[in-house]
Amino acid sequence: MSSVSSSVEGVEQKNFRFRCIACGEFSDAASQDFRCAICGDLLEITYPAWKEANPDAAELKSKWKNRRLSSTPADLSGVWRFRDVLPKLENENQVITLREGNTPLYELPQCARITGVTRLFAKHQGMNPTGSFKDAGMTVAATFARLAGFRWVACASTGNTSASMAAYAARGGLRGLVLVPEGKISWSKLSQALDYGAVTCQLRTDFDGCLRLLQELVKRAPVYQLNSINPFRLEGQKTLALELLEQLDWNPPEHIIVPGGNLGNSSAIGKALLEMRELGLISRLPKLSVIQAEGANALVRTLREAEGKRLISVSAETRATAIRIGNPASWKKAAHVLEATAGACEQVSEMEIAQAKAEIGAEGVGCEPASAVTLAGLKKLVKQGFVKADETVVLVLTGNLLKDPDFTIDFHRGEMFETQQANAGIEALRHPPIVLDASLDAVIRTLERFN
């Protein structure tokens, strides 16, 4: 098996090392499956000398701000703008970028009222180039894949990773291999992978089956795996938290709430928060909470029934297909950051997800179903007293509304839930399309009806 070194050609004297999250072993190279050569657990990227390299937090903050005035590709990227805390490149022109990051932070006043908190924001990662948070990680991991000399990159996906990987592979002149569960991802996401030219395989299994197969494949074939097991992905995704804190003038919110699927994103955000504190960029840690769908609640069960000591896998089922994952790869990393930031882990029902998604839509913001678990979860955390009314809360919206139109249309047409009673509970949020004769009278009558 060939290896992925932290001192590959094109990477100046490296500023990082790999560390195993379980046995703590350090290494300068990772095998293609990105697992520890000794114990087989996941690796993370660490920066042994970065405190010395970045001694002054105020200087870092102003450097990052000033880069916004520059028009080089690396500075226009909302990820590489923070390159001082990322694996170092010899030359910043080596980046494969689509101008990812730089995503908006929206205030959500109506959702705040519904949930009973005063300051509620959405960090909308669905506003990335391919419509999801995956782009922030992909720009880093694809760049390092190319530097390591790979021709092929590959991923298993519930849709967004594959869309993102296919795009960055195309931009970087790499070939992309996508493994997705047949019939279990949205057509929008699948269409992206096709359009960006990836070799797309719909496997007769679920996401967990696709990921298992990919892990075997990378041991046999010279393909570079771009799932979030790849620690370069998490380094890129980390910048979401840096950008968020910058948008809040470095005043940490009390809570950040994120959906949980394979648990890479929560791990990345948590890592960023801990590193920001270590570098003196923030003095207080927000609590990072993870919300899962009830039908894909492996982390919830792992923390409740096994105290986070061993993974309880589940057979996943939810219409929020992005997080239809039963055997999350990064569960240990996520459990660690939840503990370190004193965050919570909750689960929400299909009805709660659909309702929350419509409420976010009604703010003119919108998101895909998996992102809406954050608002649904917040409602629970407020009821439990874990989130207080006067605390500032940020929801991480991971995917764009346009990622899953079938879900939205079924909801508004009243075709999502089987019983009338269930649909009655969400009646006020539904805005079904109205078919009319093409007459002025009919349109005016409709206008009056809604007046």
Q: Closest separation between CB of residue 163 and ligand F0G, Å?
A: 8
Cα-trace Rg, the chain: 22
Residue with Cβ nearer ligand F0G (132 or 347) = 132
DSSP for residue 67: G
Question: Are 196 and 157 a contacting pair, CB within 8 Å?
Answer: no
Residue with Cβ nearer ligand F0G (260 or 286) = 260
Residue with Cβ nearer ligand F0G (132 or 392) = 132
Residue with Cβ nearer ligand F0G (120 or 166) = 166
Q: Closest separation between CB of residue 308 and ligand F0G, Å?
A: 16
Q: Closest separation between CB of residue 421 and ligand F0G, Å?
A: 29
Residue with Cβ nearer ligand F0G (97 or 398) = 398
Q: Closest separation between CB of residue 347 and ligand F0G, Å?
A: 14
Residue with Cβ nearer ligand F0G (279 or 396) = 396
Assigned token pair, 294: 């009830």
Q: Closest separation between CB of residue 335 and ligand F0G, Å?
A: 13
Residue with Cβ nearer ligand F0G (172 or 261) = 261
Distances (CA, A) of 107 to 119, 124, 390, 446: 8, 11, 15, 32
Q: Closest separation between CB of residue 329 and ligand F0G, Å?
A: 8
Q: Closest separation between CB of residue 443 and ligand F0G, Å?
A: 37
Beta strands (DSSP E) in 26-173 are 26-27, 29-31, 43-46, 105-107, 119-124, 152-156
Q: Which residues of 244-264 are buried (b: 16+ CB within 10 A; e: fewer)?
A: bbbebeeebbbbbbbbbbbbb
Residue with Cβ nearer ligand F0G (262 or 297) = 262
- Among the listed residues 326, 103, 38, the one whose alpha carbon sits nearest the alpha carbon of residue 206: 326
Q: Closest separation between CB of residue 64 and ligand F0G, Å?
A: 24
Q: Closest separation between CB of residue 423 and ligand F0G, Å?
A: 25
Q: Which residue has 């003095």 as its token pair?
A: 283
Long-range pairs for 334-337: beta carbons < 8 A, 24 or more residues apart:
334/260, 334/263, 334/266, 334/267, 334/270, 334/290, 334/299, 335/299, 335/302, 335/303, 335/308, 336/21, 336/267, 336/270, 337/266, 337/267, 337/269, 337/270, 337/271, 337/273, 337/274, 337/288
CA quadruple 325, 330, 336, 338: dihedral sign: negative
Assigned token pair, 12: 């100046």
Residue with Cβ nearer ligand F0G (236 or 279) = 236
Helix axes 350-361, 369-383, angle to 10 degrees: 100
Assigned token pair, 87: 């694996």
Q: Closest separation between CB of residue 116 and ligand F0G, Å?
A: 25
Assigned token pair, 402: 């346009």
Residue with Cβ nearer ligand F0G (97 or 321) = 321
Residue 447, exposed/middle/buried by CB under 10 A (0-12, 13-18, 19+)? exposed
* Binding residues for ligand F0G (CB under 6 A): 132, 134, 157-161, 228, 259-266, 322-323, 368, 370-371, 398-399
The whole-angstrom separation of Cα 20 and Cα 141 is 18
